[in-house]
Structure 1
Amino acid sequence: MTQEARLEPAPSEEPALDGAQELLSEQLAERLRTLIVTDELRPGTPLRERTLAEQLQVSRTPLRDALKILASDGLVRLLPNRGAVVAELTPEQIEEKLDVLGVIEEFAAIRACKLATDAEIGEIRALHHEMLAAYERRDRMAYFQLNQRIHRGIVTAARNQTLSDVHGQLNRQLYRYRYQGSVTSEIWHTAVDEHEVIVELLSGRDAEKLGSYLRRHVHRTWEQLVVAP
């Protein structure tokens, strides 16, 4: 998947996607998102539409829409007359986005401590136990997906759709970098320990402590990656 990308324009007479095609496009976007997160498609990699369609065994119409979805997420760049490439963020851009994401998760944590139901907190705790099991198996992708569900669960419990929408879009842009939280045993173990604290603070509904702790947590993995040898 390293060949030069050529994303051919869609014919103007092409019909709109029906429900099944839209679902397929979403599924393709998720498959490509996983390839980007796991570095099988690294930042800067050109994406040849024809090659991807053959490898994923799909037609080019839903694939084209999947690339548009990823472009809206900030994971892919669509370059006029040049094609598509996996987006690459500079360290400065990553820092900026993490700054904002940290504030968002801090605000969400404070609201969640006040508004979450006991059932929602119980579900987050259950997800944490599943995540620990994935950690013990050293299943990085399962761990990452459960990790993200925990963070989204806290944001959802904040009862603010705008907050949830902004968090989702920004977080998707940082998927690859947050996935690196399990890149070394030391960093991974630290992340697991921090999630234990997060769940305990949420269970105790300690809004201020959880908010400030989550804000630091969002940054800590990236700080460790920056100084890692």
Structure 2
Amino acid sequence: MTSGRQLAYDHLKDTVLSDPAMQGSFVNEQSLADAIGVSRTPIREALLLLAAEELVQLVPKRGAYIAPVAGREIRELFELRGMMERYAAQRTLELGTAPVQEMSGELDRQRELRAAEDARAFIDLDHRFHAALVRAVGNEMLTKNYDGLRARQVRAGIVALFSARNRREAVVDEHDAILAALADGDTAAAHAAITAHLDATQHVLLAG
């Protein structure tokens, strides 16, 4: 049975932190407790965990603050993602484990959501697309560390969708390029496509 703290932690990390409207706001503990159906104690415990991960800031006498995604955090996030994802492309092509079919399925589902209003679902598929590549390396420590970036990746991705017109179309096109390079077994092209995709998203975030 899932504990109240875990319910609160998952809801905060997967829903509240990725809501663009919550950027620059304080968490209302009572409203959140009512929405999830728990007391305020699990909410506070979850916020302590998120503060330890530097996803929220605990301000004395005011509560938990969700700071807007900062420039330094954006640059560091995308630098780290780039290193992991380019390595994953190279290594899976060397091993013959590039998950082209799985990534193609995620991209097809993402393509269907281009005109939908559900930004969260679109970005969830974005994460699944990239995570499939990293997971295919077969290195559990790499996968665990990449998954640890998920909350920041989803948060940044959703903000980017609201910051630039036609960003969804561009993301799908950029994913197409990554997938084509992997299908061709072309490491250099895969590296270039991954870099172009991450650079484009980073540019949108820093400009917005």
TM-score norm. by structure 1 comes to 0.77
* C-alpha RMSD of matched pairs (Å): 2.5
Deviation at 1:69, TM superposition (A): 3.9
**Change beyond 3 A, Cα 1:142–1:67:** same
**Change beyond 3 A, Cα 1:116–1:181:** farther
Q: Larger deviation: 120-129 or 163-172? A: 163-172
**Change beyond 3 A, Cα 1:157–1:50:** same
Alignment partner, residue 144 of structure 2: 165
Deviation at 1:207, TM superposition (A): 2.2
Aligned residues: percent identity? 26
Q: Decide whether the 8 Å contact of 2:104 with 2:179 is kept in 1.
A: yes
Deviations 1:141-187 (A, max 9, x none): 22111111001111101111222222222342243222233223332
Larger Rg: 1
Alignment partner, residue 22 of structure 2: 41
Deviation at 1:86, TM superposition (A): 1.4
Q: Decide whether the 8 Å contact of 1:111 with 1:207 is kept in 2.
A: no
- Distance in 2 between residues matched to 1:137 and 1:153, nearest whole Å: 23
Classify the secondary structure of the residue corresponding to 2:185.
coil
Q: Larger deviation: 207-216 or 64-73? A: 64-73
- Distance in 2 between residues matched to 1:174 and 1:145, nearest whole Å: 9
Point out where structure 2 has 5 or more consecutive residues left out of the alignment. none
Point out where structure 1 has 5 or more consecutive residues left out of the alignment. 1-18
- Distance in 1 between residues matched to 2:35 and 2:107, nearest whole Å: 35
TM-score norm. by structure 2 comes to 0.84
Deviation at 1:125, TM superposition (A): 0.8
The counterpart of 1:107, out of the listed 87, 92, 104, is 87
Alignment partner, residue 120 of structure 2: 141
Classify the secondary structure of the residue corresponding to 1:85.
strand
